[in-house]
């Protein structure tokens, strides 16, 4: 733990915040303005990880591969061109050569070799960003150091969505990272880690928020700041509801529900380490820090009945039918064991006498972007049950307080849904949410109606 008299803040900058030289300069001025910011976690520049994900496909046509490599190089060199010194150019050259070599190896590889190579390739975006931001800071006279997070972020070996080992991370971070913060600003990478053998792993898409929260917990930080492209957390994604309102203060529980139910602004796992370590989290806009943002804390003054709407696209509904379910024991245990073996985390569940319906979250799946429902999974399920799969669904969650114990909420929600078809409706497990599944084509209209009725 850090000494209370020397507070240390962790700041995380997302993809748009490190997209170009101007954006990196804005990050630098935020870092400089608060001397307690000693650890900085960066994402890949906007658009880089998406391209790297495409490049992980072994069967990509060569011309596509070349186009993507050039586009990534153009993003990184546009920043290098604004920096002085030949060393930074040489360092970026080396990373981009490594990227091209990995892509070449992926194009010749099959089976189990692919996942570790893919994670090494995906790490290039974050590695470039941390190099570049370190250089921007150095040019402003800040004593900054680029730190390879794989030295401390120990994970299991599950490529694409590795699970961090918090105890090892804490030991490593206190030993190897914390001492550097006394005299330097440490710039490091989000999203990536390494297994026991030193193979690079990734934490799943959008994982840099999670990395930053884990580092803040490990270092006993006094606060975690998530700098992004909006000035805080809104009552709904402002891209979906134009008159969504910024929220000044949120409790950990509300924020955790929002993140879990798809408010892309925070990776779903971000709040857990913050809540465990009671680290307050600030969310603000890199381009306009003066506008303030949202504070997420253990206790907050207001506890409104309706706080926000979260929406998660890319949901799949899997319905398993089996007459064996009737009056039998162990059917669900068997079904869940198979899903667990395929590393599928089940979200919502409803059951009837002979069937069980589950939602699977494609957006929360691994870094590879591959479909969750594979032939291997369906083959393993076939002897147990008949499976029906529906795609293109979206999950809409109403987040608030005392939802499970307030009468009249259901009718207001159903009224806003109107005559659209609801594929699943879940309420009861949490006091903070009520959620339902609808066709993705209808979700924006329903969200706007619901927002107007509950949150305006
Ligand atoms: P970063 O690259 O900084 O991690 P993300 O794109 O992952 O940024 O997250 C920021 C985006 O999250 C915003 O541009 C916004 O569209 C979206 N978003 C989703 N839900 C919310 C919400 N409730 N409040 C604010 N932004 C939200
Ligand atoms: N660069 C990674 C992604 O795009 C991680 C992150 O941005 O948080 O998913
Ligand atoms: Mg993000």
Taken in order of first residue, the domains within the chain and their CATH numbers are 9-229 (3.40.1160.10), 307-454 (3.30.2130.10)
Mean pLDDT in the chain? 92
Calpha distance 238→219 (Å, rounded) = 33
Q: Which residues line ligand 1 (CB under 6 A)?
A: 14-17, 43, 206, 228-230, 233-234, 236-239, 263-265, 308
**Which residues contribute to the annotated binding site for substrate?**
49, 126
Question: 185 by DSSP, 3-state: which?
Answer: strand
- The residue contributing the CA closest to ligand 1 atom 21 is 237
Give the Cα separation of 434 and 398 in Å (integer). 5
Nearest to 351, CA basis, from 442, 426, 255: 426
Pairing between strand 433-439 and 249-251? Answer: unpaired
Alpha-carbon distance of 224 to 206, in angstroms, equals 16
Cβ of 282 below 6 Å from ligand 2: no
Distance CA 309, CA 445 (A): 13
CA–centroid distance, residue 390 to ligand 2 (Å)? 27
**pLDDT for res 1:** 44
How remote is the CA of residue 335 from the centroid of ligand 3, in Å?
32
Query: Which run of H or of E encompasses 48?
Result: helix 48-55
Three-state SS letters, 88-144: HHHHHHHHHHHHHHHHHHHHCCCHHHHHHHHHHHHHHHHHHHHHHHHHHHHHCCCCE
Asked which of 111-125, 197-211, 308-322, 419-433 is least confident by mean pLDDT, the reply is 419-433
92-134 pLDDT per residue, tens: 999 999 999 999 999 998 778 899 999 999 999 999 999 999 9
Q: Per residue in 37-60, pLDDT tens? A: 999 999 999 999 999 999 999 889
Predicted confidence at residue 365, as pLDDT, reads: 59
At 389-429, the pLDDT tens digits run 998 999 999 999 988 888 888 888 888 888 888 998 888 77
At residue 10, does pLDDT exceed 80? yes
d(CA 227, CA 204) in angstroms, rounded, equals 19
pLDDT given for residue 3 in this prediction: 44
Q: How far apart are the first and last CA of the chain?
A: 43
**What is the CA 87 to chain-centroid distance, rounded?**
32
Question: CB–CB of 274/221 below 8 Å?
Answer: no
Kindly give the number of the ligand 2 atom that is closest to the alpha carbon of 14.
Answer: 7
- Confidence (pTM): 0.92
Between the CA of 406 and the centroid of ligand 1 the distance, in Å, is 30
10 Å Cβ neighbour count for 362? 16
Query: What one-character DSSP code corresponds to residue 345?
Result: P
Please choose from 49, 122, 149 the residue to mutate so as to test ligand 2's pocket, defined by most ligand atoms within 8 A of CB.
Answer: 49
């Amino acid at each position: 733990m850090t000494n209370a008299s020397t507070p240390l803040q962790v700041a995380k900058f997302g993809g748009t915040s490190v997209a170009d030289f101007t954006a990196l300069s804005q990050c630098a001025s935020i870092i400089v303005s608060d001397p307690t910011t000693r650890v900085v976690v960066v994402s890949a520049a906007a658009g880089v990880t998406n391209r790297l994900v495409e490049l992980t496909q072994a069967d990509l046509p060569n011309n596509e591969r070349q186009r993507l490599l050039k586009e990534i190089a153009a993003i990184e060199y546009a920043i290098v061109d604004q920096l002085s010194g030949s060393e930074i150019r040489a360092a970026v050259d080396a990373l981009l050569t490594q990227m091209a070599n990995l892509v070449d190896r992926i194009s010749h590889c099959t089976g189990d070799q692919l996942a570790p190579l893919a994670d090494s390739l995906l790490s290039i975006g974050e590695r470039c960003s941390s190099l570049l931001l370190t250089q921007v800071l150095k040019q402003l006279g800040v004593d900054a150091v680029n730190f390879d997070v794989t030295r401390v972020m120990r994970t299991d070996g599950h490529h694409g969505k590795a699970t961090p080992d918090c105890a090892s991370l804490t030991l490593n971070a206190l030993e190897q990272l914390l001492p550097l913060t006394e005299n330097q600003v440490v710039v490091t990478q989000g999203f990536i880690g390494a297994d026991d053998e030193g193979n690079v792993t990734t934490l799943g898409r959008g994982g840099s928020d999670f990395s930053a929260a884990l580092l803040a917990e490990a270092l006993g930080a006094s606060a975690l700041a998530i700098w992004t492209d909006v000035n805080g957390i809104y009552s709904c994604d402002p891209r979906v509801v134009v008159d969504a309102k910024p929220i000044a203060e949120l409790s950990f529980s509300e924020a955790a529900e929002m993140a879990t139910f798809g408010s892309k602004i925070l990776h779903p796992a971000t709040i857990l380490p913050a809540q465990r370590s009671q680290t307050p989290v600030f969310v603000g806009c890199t381009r306009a820090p003066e506008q303030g943002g949202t504070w997420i804390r253990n206790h907050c003054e207001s506890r409104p009945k309706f706080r926000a709407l979260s929406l998660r696209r890319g949901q799949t509904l899997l319905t398993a039918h089996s007459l064996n379910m009737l009056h039998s024991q162990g059917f669900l245990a068997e079904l869940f064991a198979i899903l667990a073996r395929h590393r599928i985390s089940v979200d919502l569940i409803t059951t009837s006498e002979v069937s069980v319906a589950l939602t699977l979250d494609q957006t929360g799946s691994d870094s590879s972007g591959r479909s969750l429902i594979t032939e291997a999974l369906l083959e393993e399920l076939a002897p147990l049950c008949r499976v029906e799969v529906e795609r293109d669904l979206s999950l809409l969650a109403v987040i608030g307080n005392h939802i499970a114990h307030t009468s009249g909420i259901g009718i207001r929600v159903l009224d806003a849904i109107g005559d659209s078809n609801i594929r699943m409706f879940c309420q009861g497990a949490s006091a903070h949410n009520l959620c339902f599944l609808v066709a993705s084509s209808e979700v924006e209209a329903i969200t706007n109606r619901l927002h107007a009725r509950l949150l305006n």
